[in-house]
Structure formats: C-alpha cells, structure tokens
A and B are shown apart, each in its own frame.
Chain A
C-alpha cells in the first residue's frame, strides 16, 4: 500500500489550535463588552457596528478578488471581522455610517492588505483606521454622546437612529464629553483637574462603563472579564496588559502626586478612554506586537508610558491609538533584541562554560 500524501517532516500530529479558533475566541471575549455598549448607546451604535464589521469583511473580500486569491479560507479566518469589530469599538457610538466604511478602507486595504494580508502588516489595522479618521475628520470623530440605553425614554427609536447614523445629524441635547476630553478642555480653559473631575461620573460608574466614550470601550469591568477569559484560554498572556496598565497607572500616580491640579490620578487614567480595551485587545494583537515575553513587557511598558504622555501633554485627550502605533513601529527592533537565550549558550550567544555555569 502506498501513501499518496506529500512527504513533509514530522510531526504527524497537531494541536487543536487554528487561526480561526483564535480569532473566534477573541471575538467571543469581546461580546459582553460590546453587547453592553450597544445596549448603552442604542440603535445608532448597532447600525454603526454592523456597517463597520460588514465593510471590513467586504474590503477583505475585495482585496482578495483584486489580488486574484481565493476568498476561502482567508475570509473565513475571522481576522477581518475582528479588525472591523475592534475598529467599531473605538468609534464614537453615534458617528455617521461613512466613518465605518472609510475606516474599513483604511484598516483593511491600507492597513493590512497593502502589506500582503494577514500577518504581514507592521501597524495595527484598527488603530491605523482610527487615527486616520481622527486626523481627517476630527469633528465626526469627537462627537460623543451620554449613555442612552435602548428602549429608555428619551432614547432615539429605530427610525430616529437611522437618521442619526445614515443622516449624519446628532440631535441637540444628546452630546456629552468624554472624561479625558472634559479634563483636557478644562485644563485649556484654566480649570484644575479636580474641578473637571468633579463634573464626571464617579470611578465606580466609570469602571462599570456608565460614561460617554467610544462604542465599545466604556466598561472596563466587562473588558477585563473578556481579557481574563483570553488569558484563561491562553490566547494572550498577562505580559502586555499588565505592563501597559501598570505603567499607565504608575506614571499617572507619580504625575498626580507631583501636581494633582495638573494631572489626573492613576485610577482615573486606567478607567477612562481606551486603556482597558487597548491593554487587553489592541496592544495584544499578535501580528503587530513582539513575540517574546520580554519583548511584550517592553512593548506594554512603552504603550502605557506613551499613552500617559500623549494624554497629558499632547493636543489629543486620548492617546492609546497613537501609543500603540508608535510602539508597533518598534516591534521589529524589540524582537531583535529580546530573542530568548539559546540552549547551551549565554545571552550573548557564546557557548556556556562546561558544568552548566550560567
């Protein structure tokens, strides 16, 4: 009897891991936070979410067609859906539909497929799209609303929501500032941090997610739950989230101790903006972060520190997206300097001295 399969080296057994499973697990981990926020921000958020995810999948398909590749299995690996999902989570919940479509063009075509598709891109596609949109359309990208849960009085109905998402008009009386935005604006108008923070929901509400913010970022608690699920499922490890949140917390705490009227405190910083979403779901992106654990610690540290610096000193109130992109560009060099120690060799690559002295 002859075996017809191509001859490749062992192993002839394989773990159950697959790219599709990984992507599906990440999406599953995002479901609670997403569902909560879709409820919190109502129909306009649901529409924008659907448009963004759909557009990303469509762009992926388009790119595959243009480049003459098969639609499957690439389209089925779930990576484009995940990119769309993450991008949608970082958009203002009542942003117009075209931000989602344009975002998909930035994320999938320019952020990913131009580089050769999955695994080839240097920058996190969702963050490329978010930053490109933010820089190009600052008004649409900074029009925030206070929570308006589905089916509550005063919440836009289905048809009103269609007008918001596809008509592009947010009715008066709905808009609200994000916590980081309020503090930034306050500082520019000569208000101290404590004056601004006084107007914001308390930390408990911020942690639960009852605040203005991007479509999927507000509930630190649910995102933390999703993140812990990913750690439990061994999709990610603690290194990037812990390093990033830890650094952000410590930097903010030190700043706050030095000048409490100029800098918000650590808890405020990690509970606001996209800190949790970024730490567990964006900075942990396999493709654009370092592969070794040491590298991941450095990467997380860098994202945390840059986030704080950008939030505290730059023109934008939010810094996670910029920080992630900046650290993405350092990933290759971090990888190069954080290779593991080879068996039987010192860190510098020399053979060990006999008797196993290290």
Chain B
C-alpha cells in the first residue's frame, strides 16, 4: 500500500530497547493514591466525595463539568483520607486539588454502568455515553477527552478512523506493549470507535521499528476487512496526527482545520483499549500502562499503574535510580513535561516517566545561531525556526506570529538538531503563551467595551423613555408643542 512522504523530521536515538522487551507488569497497590481532579484538557472535574467516605473500585469520585471535561474514578476500593492540594506533574511545580485515597486491599468493585451487548450495532450515542462516563481521555499524552472527538462524526461524513500506534517518541514502549499483548482489545476498541464515528474504515499506523506489534496487530486484524494495519517509516514526529494522516492518505490538513475536515479522526491505541473496556465491560479508566525508562533508572519497565499512584512508587518498582538524573520527564523526551520532582501522581496522560542522565540529555550551553538551516530543513510544519527565534528574542511577537509560530507543534525537532543548542521550542512556547494572553486580553477588552456601550445605551434609553413619559404627561396638560417636539423623537432613535 502506498505511503506518502511527510516533510522534514528527525531520527533521534530511540533507546526503546531499554524497555521494549519488558512485558506489562502491574504495580503493587501503593499505600496512597492521589487522584487529581484535573487530569485532562478542559474544565476540572467536580468533586463527588468527602474525606472519611469509603469508595469502591470504579466509583465516580469526581464528575466532568461542561462540554470538554472528564470524570475521575476510584482505582481501587478504600477510604478517602482527604481532599488536598498536591504537587501536579507539571513543569510549574504548582499544586492541584487531589482526592487522597487509602486503598483497603479489598478491590471491591462498585456497580458499573451497563455495558453494551453488541456495541457494533448500538446507537453511537450509547457508546459515547459509556466513553464519557468512563472518563477516557487521549492516552498518547494530550489527555483530550475522547468523547469530544467521538462526536466529530455527527457533523461530518468521516471516511476513516486512524489509530495512532506510531509511538514516535524515543524511550516510550507502552503503546508497543499494549499492541503486542492486547491486540484483540485494541482492535475491538478501534472498531467500536469507528462505528461511533460512522467511519467505514480503520487504518492503524505503526512505525516499522515495532515489528512484533505490527505482526500481532496484523494477525488480529485479519478477521476484519475494514481494519488495515500499515507500517509507517520511522521518522519523528510521525505520531503527530496531521502528519500521520498525511503519511497514510496523502491528505494534508488545511491550516486551522481538523483532520476530521479531511475525513479522518485520529485516536491513540491505548485509548482504543480503554474504550474496549468501557463499552464491553462498563469499566472506567482507572489504570494505564506507563513506560518507566532512561539510563538513570535501574531496571526500566512497562508498568500497569493505577491512576494516582505516586511516581516514586513506580521508580521503586524499577529498582530505584542510578545516580542523580539530569532530567526527570513525564512523557517522551521530545515533547514531555519536565517534572520538578518525583513526588507527583500518575495521571491519565502519563505515557512515560523518564529519568535521564546527563549523557542522554546532551544538554549544553546555547551558542550563537550559525544559520546552518538545519531547523528549516527539518521543521515538519514548514516553518523557519531560526527567524522566528530571532524575532522572539527581540520580543517582536507579531513578527513571529506572521511567520506562523502559532502553527508550531512544539515537536522539538529543531531544538534537538540545533548545533548551537539554542532552546528554540522554549522561545516558541513563550511566544505562543504571550500571543494567547494578548489575544485573551484583547477579547476581554473587546467584551468590556461592548458591555460598557450596552450599559450606556441602556441608561440613555431609560432616560429618554422617562423624558418621553414626562413630555407625554405635559402634553396632556397643554404644554406648547414647540417645547416637547425634540424630546418626543428621542425614544425612536434609541
């Protein structure tokens, strides 16, 4: 089958061999779980439990609010010790509200939503309801509520579901292991999603550095003619949804549009597995596979961890650290979040926990740009990183905006390749943040202005109406016409 070229990209050292042969192992239940109310893109969930309460495994402990949100569930049975602020797995190191759950070891399940007997003929809305109730979010790392993406078929005619098994980030092997060990669940989940989306075709794109996963998935997909498993070349960032769709179909998503606008919706393989669990068994998303790797980890592993498990417990399960790591990262090394400490919980989007030594990070002091043009050649978005960075350095955000900085994926290819070690993505993230703030301020200002104007109009109208009423009263009393004429016209104007 024909594949299509994508622009640019890089071939970093993948170092997947550190963990790729380690089968998924369940983490022994930690003594405490800290489940964040805000693990996803969108509004935080609303708390449903209080300290001292007993909860059952799978019980909803926080409810999604608003159109883009997701609920949270108890990963095991136990007692709510407290609802408190804990350090979030985010670069800022800021704290967030979490439910602190002390497991009782009984693993007693709560009553679960009724699963669908035959999801492939069910109403799409019934599938979406189960997915929403299960709190499933994009498990590739973005953590966007999956149900929102399952709605994309309601307004558009979709041609295909693209299942993202590229796993192009170095080190990460969690998707690889899920595909190798549970290809049946992934493919079933994908077929359920495709049905919910109204998409007749499922294409599963897997980078060809995962031959075992390709083999397992191909074997499992053989029974379903509508499911195609396709190897894609190893080329970071193949896992970017726009680029994966382009590689598989040759279609390029127009700027400011979604892949759905060209007929394809992209979901991650682990998300498909979670959807299989939710729709077939009513089970919420309460655990996920996390790759713990890096050369500063004694024994890298793929761990099935309950949501809320402390990252320290995962590291301990891997035999602890070797020396002091240069970086702790949540996610992959190309696009992951720096962790300020290990004292943070696993969330639904935690695909990896990496402890990297200095040799692996290869960090060096930034030097001057020598205009080598590597960043231009490899940018998968066709941007000019060196020029954008030059603008941002002088705080010329409009200049950077005109060059398309907001279309940057932050894939990190340019920073990775820069011989001068210039932190280009840092510049672009800064600019994107500032531009967003400016835009928000502008919108706010605009809104304030509209409200002020409306308020003034209202006051004027009220005054005019009052005056008109007074004038009308006066007329009946026989005021001369000349005096009341101008006033009588005012209400009509307003």
Contacts from A to B (Cβ < 8 Å):
1-3, 5, 7-19, 21-22, 73, 77, 79, 117-120, 286-293, 296, 335, 339-345, 351-356, 358
B289 surroundings in chain A (CB, below 8 A)? none
Complex Cα distance, B261 from A19, in Å, reads 43
- Pick 16 A–B contacts, CB within 8 A, sort by A: A2-B340, A10-B337, A12-B354, A12-B363, A18-B421, A19-B370, A19-B419, A22-B372, A73-B365, A117-B368, A290-B373, A340-B384, A342-B382, A343-B407, A344-B242, A344-B257
A16 to B364 alpha-carbon distance, docked (Å): 11
The residue of chain B having its C-beta at the shortest distance from the C-beta of A13 within the complex is B333
Q: Are B362 and A16 in contact (CB under 8 A)?
A: yes
Bound Cα distance from A14 to B253, whole angstroms: 29
Report whether A354 and B379 are in contact in the complex, using a CB–CB cutoff of 8 Å.
no
| Residue in chain B with minimal CB distance to A288 | B371
Contact status A12-B336, CB under 8 Å: yes
B376 touches A291 (CB 8 A): yes
A30 to B144, CA, bound (A): 53
Question: Would you call B416 an interface residue if the criterion is a C-beta within 8 Å of the partner chain's C-beta atoms?
Answer: yes
Task: Name, among A22, A292, A345, the residue most crowded by chain B CB atoms within 10 Å (CB to CB).
Answer: A345
Of the residues A3, A15, A355, contact of B10 by C-beta under 8 Å: A15
A119-B261 Cα distance, complex, nearest whole Å? 42
The complex places the Cα of A39 from the Cα of B370 at a distance, in Å, of 33
Q: With an 8 A cutoff between CB atoms, is B335 at the interface?
A: yes
Residue of B nearest to A2 (CB): B341
The reply to whether B336 and A352 contact each other, CB–CB distance below 8 Å, is: no
Residues of A within 8 A of B182 (CB): none
In the A-B complex, list the 6 residue pairs whose CB atoms are closest, starting with the nearest.
Answer: A291-B373, A14-B362, A11-B412, A356-B251, A344-B255, A17-B419
A7-B91, A356-B251, A358-B252 given; 4 more Cβ-contact pairs under 8 Å: A1-B321, A3-B328, A13-B356, A340-B379
Complex CA distance for A39 and B438, rounded to whole angstroms: 64
Say yes or no for B88: interface residue by CB 8 A criterion: no
Docked pose: A15 CA to B19 CA in angstroms = 21
Say yes or no: A11 contacts B415, CB within 8 Å: yes
Tell me the complex Cα distance, A5–B403, Å.
Answer: 31
A67 to chain B, nearest CB (A): 13
With A16-B362, A342-B383, A351-B257 as known contacts, state yes or no: A10 contacts B338, CB within 8 Å: yes
A118 and B416: CB pair below 8 A?
Answer: no
Contact assessment for B356 and A119 in the assembled complex, using a CB-CB cutoff below 8 Å: no
| 231-276 of chain B: CB within 8 A of chain A | 242, 246, 250-257, 261-263
Q: Does B417 contact A (CB under 8 A)?
A: yes
CA–CA, A356 to B250, complex, Å?
8
Chain B contacts with A in 397-446, Cβ cutoff 8 A? 403-404, 407, 410, 412, 415-421, 423, 425-426, 429
Provided the pairs A7-B340, A292-B376, A356-B250 are in contact, do residues A343 and B384 lie with their beta carbons within 8 angstroms?
A: no
Give the residue among A3, A17, A77 with the most B Cβ atoms within 10 A. A3
Query: When chains A and B are docked, how far (Å) is the Cα of A11 from the Cα of B410?
Result: 9
Q: Which residue of chain A has the shortest Cβ distance to B428 in the bound complex?
A: A9
> Which A-chain residue is minimally distant from B365 (CB atoms)?
A73
Interface SS, B side? loop
Q: How far is the CB of A286 from chain B (nearest CB, A)?
A: 4
Q: How far is the CB of B198 from chain A (nearest CB, A)?
A: 18
User: Given A117-B368, A291-B373: A15 and B12 within 8 A (CB)?
Assistant: yes
Q: Which of B246, B356, B371 contacts A286 (CB 8 A)?
A: B371
Bound-state CA distance A1–B425 (Å) is 26
Q: How far is the CA of A196 from the CA of B255 in the complex (A)?
A: 61
Q: Are B384 and A291 in contact (CB under 8 A)?
A: yes
Closest chain A CB from B190 CB (angstroms): 23
> Digit string of B351-382 for contact with A (CB within 8 Å is 1, else 0)?
00010100011111101111111101101111
B374 contact from A7, A11, A17, A340, Cβ within 8 A? A17
Distance in angstroms between the alpha carbons of A340 and B388 in the assembled complex: 13
B370, B379, B381, B410: residue with the most chain A Cβ atoms closer than 10 Å:
B370
B24: CB under 8 A from chain A?
A: no
Q: Which of B416, B419, B429 contacts A22 (CB 8 A)?
A: B419
* CB within 8 Å for A3 and B255 given contacts A8-B423, A291-B376: no
> Nearest CB to that of B326 among chain A residues?
A5
- Asked whether, in the complex, the Cβ of B370 is within 8 Å of the Cβ of A354, the reply is no
**Tally of contact residues, B, Cβ under 8 A:** 80
Shortest C-beta distance, A274 to chain B (Å), equals: 22
Q: When each residue 315-347 of chain B gets 1 if its CB lies under 8 Å from chain A and 0 otherwise, what string results?
A: 000000100111111011111111111100000
Question: Within the assembled complex, what's the spacing in Å between the Cα atoms of A193 and B387?
Answer: 47
Does B484 make an interface contact (CB < 8 A)? Answer: no
Knowing A8-B426, A342-B255, A342-B404, the reply to whether A13 touches B380 (Cβ < 8 A) is no
Known A-B contacts A3-B325, A10-B425, A358-B252; A340 and B382 likewise in contact (beta carbons under 8 Å): yes
Contact B336 A341 (CB under 8 A): no
Rounded to whole Å, the gap between the CB of A344 and the closest CB of chain B is 4
Q: Which residue of A lies closest to B252 (CB)?
A: A356
Closest residue on chain A to residue B362 by CB atoms: A14
B333 in contact with A343 (CB, 8 Å): no
Are A15 and B382 neighbours in the complex by a CB distance under 8 Å? no
Across the interface, do A343 and B372 meet the contact criterion of CB distance under 8 Å?
no
Q: Is B42 an interface residue (CB 8 A)?
A: no
B377: A residues at CB distance < 8 A: 292-293
Chain B residues lying within 8 Å of A9, measured Cβ to Cβ, are: 410, 412, 415, 423, 425-426, 429
Q: Which of B254, B371, B412 contacts A354 (CB under 8 A)?
A: B254
Cβ distance B412 to chain A, nearest Cβ, rounded Å: 4
Instruction: Determine whether B298 belongs to the interface, using a CB cutoff of 8 Å to chain A.
Output: no
Alpha-carbon distance between A335 and B376 when the two chains are bound, in angstroms: 11
- Contact B364 A14, beta carbon cutoff 8 Å: yes
Q: Which residues of A contact B338 (CB under 8 A)?
A: 3, 7-8, 10, 12
Q: Distance (Å) between the CB of B8 and the closest chain A CB?
A: 9
Contact residue among A2, A8, A16, A22 (Cβ-Cβ distance under 8 Å from B370): A22
Which of these, B91, B252, B321, B360, contacts A13 with CB under 8 Å? B360
In the bound assembly, the distance between CA atoms of A2 and B412 in angstroms comes to 24
Contact with A along B175-205 (1 / 0, CB 8 A): 0000000000000000000000000000000
B384 touches A354 (CB 8 A): no
Q: In the complex the two chains form, is A344's CB within 8 Å of B371's CB? A: no
Q: Does chain A have a CB within 8 A of B35?
A: no
